[in-house]
Amino acid sequence: FCPGAGDDCEDVLNEAEVNSNWTPQEKALHEARLKAKAKRRLRKSSSRNSTSESFSESGDLAGADPNSPKGKVNTNDRKSRTGKGRGLPKKGGAGGKGVWGAAGMVYEDEEPDVRDPNYDESAQGDTVYAKVVPEIDERELEKMVNPIVQEYFEHGDTKEVQLLLKELNLGHNKYEFSSMAVSLSLEGKASHRELTSRLLSDLSGKLLSQNDMGRAFDKMLKELPDLILDTPEAPQMLGQFIARAIADHVLPMSFLDCYKGKVDCDHARVALDRAAVLLSMKREMVRLDNVWGVGGGLRPVKHLIKEMNLLLKEYLISGDVSEAERCLRDLEVPHFHHELVYEAVVMVLEAKGDKASHMMMKLLQSFWKTGLITVDQMNRGFQRVYDELPEISLDVPHAHSIMETFVDLCYQESVITKQLRDVCPSRGRKRFVSEGDGGVIKS
């Protein structure tokens, strides 16, 4: 008996048993089993030595249990058990579930991903929203531009137009704004054309370049056959626009030279000739400021009074109320209409006969009904005559009686109010309905 010998002792006993009792066949079979068992033992020993052995500081074998009967390696070892690879840990020790990476690794800040399920918009700090304005379609351009130009004709503030245009994405069609503004002004008044010329001058170099202005006027020259259907004077007016634009440096000086000998349209030729004549006459002037005349409140007061006197005299001759209304609108001075009322009443006082009083009453009645003259302007005009009546009576002895008759006529036709009629001055006697009517005083 050999205690602790294990497999060696068993081999010795089997050898003794083979030599004494086994037949040759059994002996050969037993030797084959021993050789196979030795091969398995050698293979297991070499595998442990090449892939799983590691020695500690004391020289003992680490990773294997010394008390294990079969000498198995530690199952928690991360090294390959197949004998492949260099025996290094996976991903350099930085892999595995719940692992943040290798020691000493520094990560850069990552931008939050909107598609992340844990994305919180309120916790991302200040969010900047970019406003994207789509480019305006050519069909919508006219709908957007026309209200801007019409409002500009009312307030005359070019800076307001610039702010509104900056909010719009005109894109490659921005040159059409100039052509639309000029087309609208051709259908308007002289003051509108003056405002349009100023607008083009202020927009040049800021929102519109000389190239854009040139494309706009070139388009209008080609559209003149259609423009003259609504505005017969369109060729002359467009020529004045071109001359003013060249003088204001909105268009290049060589703009007219580009069309020499290349224009087949008669209307375009008229416009270009008109511009050339104006520039040749005003070549010593920096700007053609008076190409559209002086409009509205910019006119001198004496000039406005003269125009209103001429308007009233022509009306007394022709009796055309609509023409008188058109002339008054063209003056564009609604704040000065009280002067027309004053001049009309004075003409009634200075006229001979009743014809002038009835005609002036009809004129003032028409202006009152159409709203061309407001109640404030009407009251101011009559009140001015009331205040100057003592001086007027020096030249017109019967001014007071004529005034009372005209005031009564205007009140009966609802031209003036009762309060304005009652404050009409008299010569110190009570105002009777007529002489010898029994002493009934006017109410």
Question: Residue 62: what pLDDT?
Answer: 46
Q: Give per-residue pLDDT as tens, 126-163.
A: 667 777 777 777 778 888 889 999 999 888 888 999 99
User: Which has more confidence, 229 or 124?
Assistant: 229
Q: Please measure the distance between the N-terminal and C-terminal CA atoms of the chain and give it in whole angstroms.
A: 161
Domain 138-281 identical in fold to domain 296-422? yes
Q: Give per-residue pLDDT as tens, 37-92.
A: 888 888 777 666 655 544 444 444 444 455 555 555 555 555 556 666 666 666 76
Mean pLDDT of 365-385: 91
Is pLDDT of 364 > 90? yes
Beta bridge partners of 73: 64
Is pLDDT of 263 > 50? yes
Question: Residue 63: what pLDDT?
Answer: 46
**b/e 271-293 (16+ beta carbons within 10 angstroms → b):** bbebbbebbeebeeeeebeebbe
Is pLDDT of 426 > 60? yes
Cα angle for residues 101, 103, 106 (degrees, 5° grid)? 70
Beta bridge partners of 327: none
* DSSP letter (8 states) at residue 206: T
Is pLDDT of 436 > 80? no
Q: Give per-residue pLDDT as tens, 395-412.
A: 888 899 999 999 999 999
Tell me the CATH architecture of domain 138-281.
Alpha Horseshoe (1.25)
Q: In this predicted structure, which of 118-127, 139-148, 289-298 has the lowest mean pLDDT?
A: 289-298
Going by C-beta distance under 8 Å and a sequence separation of 6 or more, which residues neighbour residue 382? 341, 345, 407, 416, 420
Instruction: Count the Cβ atoms, other than its own, within 10 Å of residue 393.
Output: 18
User: Which has more confidence, 130 or 203?
Assistant: 203
Distances (CA, A) of 74 to 54, 85, 86, 270, 431: 11, 18, 18, 107, 135
Per-domain residue ranges of the chain: 7-58, 138-281, 296-422
Nearest in space to 174 (alpha carbons), one of 212, 147, 221: 212
Q: Decide: 167 and 202 in contact? Cβ < 8 Å.
A: no
Mean pLDDT of 19-45: 82
Residue by residue, DSSP assigns 74-124 as PTT--S-SSS-S-SPPGGGGT-STT---STT--PPP-PPPTTSTT--GGGS
- What average pLDDT does the structure give for the chain? 79
Q: Residue 182 — very low, low, confident or very high, per pLDDT cuts 50/70/90? A: very high
Q: In this predicted structure, which of 49-58, 181-190, 232-241, 322-331 has the lowest mean pLDDT?
A: 49-58
Mean pLDDT of 231-256: 90
Q: In this predicted structure, which of 11-20, 54-63, 245-254, 343-352 has the lowest mean pLDDT?
A: 54-63
State pTM to two decimals: 0.49
Is pLDDT of 285 > 60? no
Is pLDDT of 206 > 70? yes
Question: Residue 114: what pLDDT?
Answer: 78
Mean pLDDT of 359-378: 91
Is pLDDT of 98 > 80? no
Structure tokens at 220: 């209008």
Q: Residue 222 — very low, low, confident or very high, per pLDDT cuts 50/70/90? A: very high
CATH class for the domain made up of 296-422: mainly alpha
Interatomic CA distance for residues 370 and 405, integer angstroms = 24
Question: Residue 294: what pLDDT?
Answer: 59
Cα angle for residues 220, 224, 230 (degrees, 5° grid)? 115
Residue 363 class from Cβ within 10 Å (0-12 exposed, 13-18 middle, 19+ buried)? Answer: buried
